[in-house]
Structure formats: C-alpha cells, structure tokens
Structure 1
Amino acid sequence: MIIVHHLANSRSQRILWLLEELGLEYEVKRYERDPETMLAPPVLKAIHPLGKSPVITDGDLVVAESGAIVEYLVDTYGKGRLAPERGTPESLRYTYWLHYSEGSAMLPLLLKLVFNRVETAKMPFFAKPFAKGIARNVRGNFIEPQIRQHLDYMEAEVAKTGYFVGEQFSAADIQLSFPLEAAAARGGLDQTWPNLMAFLERIHAMPGYKRALERGGEYDIIS
C-alpha cells in the first residue's frame, strides 16, 4: 500500500492528486505544522531524515522530493498515462517542466515568503526600520521582478495548447499546480496572465483534483 505522509497546505497535496489521476489505492497519514514556526513536526524525521513533506512509502521503499515522487509513481504505475513516450521531443519537454517547477519557479516565491516574514518578525524596535527597508528593497528590486518574469514565461508557454506538454494533460501539469497556486495566493498572479488563470480554473474543476482535496483536508493556499 502506498502511504502519503501528508502535511497540510503543502506540496504533498499534488501527490494526492496524482494518485487520484492514476486511480491508485493509497493511505494518507496526516501531519500538522507547528503553529508558531509553520514547519513540519519533528516526527516526520522518522520517515525521512530531512523531516519534510511530501514523502511516500511504498512497501519498504521511501521516496522524497515532489519531482522524484511524481517520476516514480508515473514510471511504476502509469502504464503510459500522464507522460509522453520516452525519447520523443515531448518527453524532454515533460522532464523540463517537471523539474522547472521546483528548480526555478518556486525560488522567488519562497524568497518572497521569507522576506515578508522578515518584515513582520519580532525584533528590537530600533532594528525594525532597517529590516523593513531591506525587505522591501529586496522584494521590489529582485524578487517581484523575478516572479513576473517567470509568470510571463509560463503564460506564453501554456497559451500554446492549454497545457505545458503538448496537447495532453500530464503529470508535469500536476507538478506545476503548486507554484501557480502559490503565485495566485501570494505572488501576484491575477488576470494579467489570463492563460495561467484559465489553467488553474481548469485543473480545479477536474474530478481527480476535487477528490484529492477531500482526502487531503485543509488546503488554504487556494482559498
């Protein structure tokens, strides 16, 4: 039995969605974030040394990292579904988008989250003006332009067919759902990028996506 070690409001939600699209049986083991730090609980380190989610177990096998989990599940159980045939141009594009999601798209979004917290963190009163000034400068001059650049790029790519790999929905679209949802929640993604917004609307209406939300529980990132 596949077990998803699932952290609320996290990347592991898209793993549940992938499992629903593949029609696989699985168990969800839920973990709650620390209410102060918003980090995963230390007990997750018993599953994987880094103590992060998503992690899946499949028998004695432990697989971490979203991209690796997606590749494992599609290669092992996909039976040709949700990925192009290997050796084709579409297959290379699929691999690219699968890893672009975390390798490039998420970085400026994470940096924005970090610098937002810097600005509101507890500190001596005399340090607050300096911290706020630095945070606003980094966000305005580096982070937000980077986010817009990535959104412009993805907007142009998804406009070609409505999906990121050819004309068919694939696991790469599932992988890209999280950075796009994060961008819509806190990165400025709006109707300025109509094709990306249409993509999100389309995937949110998919039955498998809705079933995954029912299994996973709280997912405030799309609220």
Structure 2
Amino acid sequence: MTLILHHLETSRSMRILWLLEELGLDYELKTSQRDPKTMFGPADHQKLHPQGSWPLIQDGDLTLPESGAIVEYVINKAGAESWRRTPDQADWPDYLRWMHFAEATLQPYLLMHLVFSKLPKQAPAMARPIVSKVKEGVEGFIINPKVELYMKMIEAHLTGKDSFLEGGLTGADVMMIFPLESVFARIDDAGKKYPNTKKYVQGIHGRPAFKAALEKGGEYKLAPLQD
C-alpha cells in the first residue's frame, strides 16, 4: 500500500516531502493550504488524528504525526541505512542529539520570535506601545541571546561540512533544515553572521530531491535561500 503524506504549505512537512524524494519511496501527496487570516490549516484535518498537526503520514493501518517519528519511520521503511545511525556506531549519540535539538531546543525560540514579532500589530492601538516594549524585552533578554548562542555553535560545527554527521546526509539533517531555514527567513543579518550554515542550507536547497519537493509541495516561503 502506498504511503500517504499529508502536507501543509510552508510548514515542517516540507522536510518529510524532501526525505521521501531523496529515498525514492512511492507516496501519495495530499496538500492543504493555510487560512490567509489565521494561518492555520483546515480544522477537519483533526479527523485523521486527534493531534491535528502536520506532517502526518498514513501507511496501511498506521496514522503517524510528529516530524521526528516520521523521519525515523520513513528511513526504516526505505531500509536507508546510511540515513540513520544505530547504537553500535560511534556517532549514534551525535545523531540522537541533532535529531532532537531541532525541535526541542532551537525551534521553540524561533516560534517565540515569530509570535512576538506579530504581537504589536495585533494589539489594540492604545496598547501597542506597551506590547512593543514587552516584545523588545523578551527578544532582547531571552529569544535573541539563545538563538545567537545556538547558531554560533551550529556555525562552528558546520565549518567545512555539508552534513551534520560525517559520511553524508542523515535524518539529523532532515530535522535540522526547517529551523535553519526559519533562522535565515526571520533573523536579521543571519546570512552575514552564519556563512557556513548558509552554505549548508543552500547546498540542501540545491539538491535535485529538494527541488522536486518544492515543485510538488506548493507554496514554501522558506526556500530557496538566496545569496
């Protein structure tokens, strides 16, 4: 039975679409658009799974949300040994670290950055000066220092590399690409501050499989990363 990927435009599910293209698995793509006002996906998506989130895959009787879980499932289904690491391999801890770092550590601060960037415009006119001050405070004392700390670490790690682990792309790269795309889309001067990381992201965006995913997946505002 063909695997089904439920994809939402400009979302985490693009990395699953990219992975499917890289591994050459047969799949059916079902794409949803965001509401232009709320930016949410269709509410009836929750009928497929109570979590109501994207990406979501269906494979026979299985319905599975969560990017990390889907990445592991797809790699195992494809038997793509080079795209994963196992406990008997020396770099397995690094694989686990980057697989989880993407969503557990970096992405929450990028989401906070996105939310706080929108608050002043959405606040009542009289409250905007106060909301703007709160935004500046949270960004200055919490969000920006953390993002800069993590990005400096990533920038150093990617020096002279085109993948997070030695030996080529793995599930760790699939997980890391979305938050890194978000950094370059939303953080001022990120391209100048983090040239190694920018080169890494552009390298992935230039891959035939990623280009194929972009063609099939509809609007994706985070790619390709320009010079």
TM-score between the two structures when normalised by the length of structure 1:
0.95
The secondary structure found in structure 2 opposite 1:36 is coil
Identify the residue that residue 73 of structure 1 maps to in structure 2: 74
Q: Which amino acid aligns with 1:173?
A: D
Identify the residue that residue 61 of structure 1 maps to in structure 2: 62
Identify the residue that residue 20 of structure 1 maps to in structure 2: 21
- State whether structure 2 residue 143 is matched by structure 1 residue 143: yes
Identify the residue that residue 120 of structure 1 maps to in structure 2: 121
The separation in 2 between residues aligned to 1:208 and 1:160, in whole angstroms, is: 22
Q: Which amino acid aligns with 1:144?
A: N
Match runs of 1:197-216 below 5 Å = 197-216=198-217
1:160, distance to aligned residue in structure 2 (A): 5.5
The separation in 2 between residues aligned to 1:161 and 1:131, in whole angstroms, is: 41
1:199, distance to aligned residue in structure 2 (A): 0.1
1:165, distance to aligned residue in structure 2 (A): 1.1
Identify the residue that residue 84 of structure 1 maps to in structure 2: 85
For the Cα contact (< 8 Å) 1:94–1:172, is it kept in 2? Answer: yes
Share of identical aligned residues, percent?
A: 38
Match runs of 1:123-134 below 5 Å = 123=124, 125-134=125-134
Identify the residue that residue 161 of structure 2 maps to in structure 1: 161
Q: Which amino acid aligns with 1:39?
A: F
- Number of equivalenced pairs: 222
The separation in 1 between residues aligned to 2:192 and 2:79, in whole angstroms, is: 34
The secondary structure found in structure 2 opposite 1:40 is coil
1:187, distance to aligned residue in structure 2 (A): 2.3
The separation in 2 between residues aligned to 1:93 and 1:78, in whole angstroms, is: 21
TM-score between the two structures when normalised by the length of structure 2:
0.93
Q: Which amino acid aligns with 2:223?
A: I
The separation in 1 between residues aligned to 2:80 and 2:219, in whole angstroms, is: 31
For the Cα contact (< 8 Å) 1:163–1:173, is it kept in 2? Answer: yes
1:77, distance to aligned residue in structure 2 (A): 1.6
1:85, distance to aligned residue in structure 2 (A): 4.2
Identify the residue that residue 102 of structure 1 maps to in structure 2: 103
For structure 1, the 5+ residue unaligned runs are none
For structure 2, the 5+ residue unaligned runs are none
> Bigger CA drift: 60-69 or 84-93?
84-93
Identify the residue that residue 194 of structure 1 maps to in structure 2: 195
The separation in 1 between residues aligned to 2:208 and 2:72, in whole angstroms, is: 22
Identify the residue that residue 218 of structure 1 maps to in structure 2: 219
Deviations 1:138-169 (A, max 9, x none): 11221111111111011111225332112322
For the Cα contact (< 8 Å) 2:8–2:32, is it kept in 1? Answer: yes
1:89, distance to aligned residue in structure 2 (A): 2.1
- Note closer, same or farther for the CA distance 1:167–1:81 as it changes in structure 2 (3 Å cut): closer
The separation in 1 between residues aligned to 2:187 and 2:110, in whole angstroms, is: 6
Query: What is the root-mean-square deviation in Å for CA atoms of aligned residues?
Result: 1.4
Match runs of 1:166-177 below 5 Å = 166-177=166-177
The separation in 1 between residues aligned to 2:209 and 2:173, in whole angstroms, is: 13
The secondary structure found in structure 2 opposite 1:24 is coil
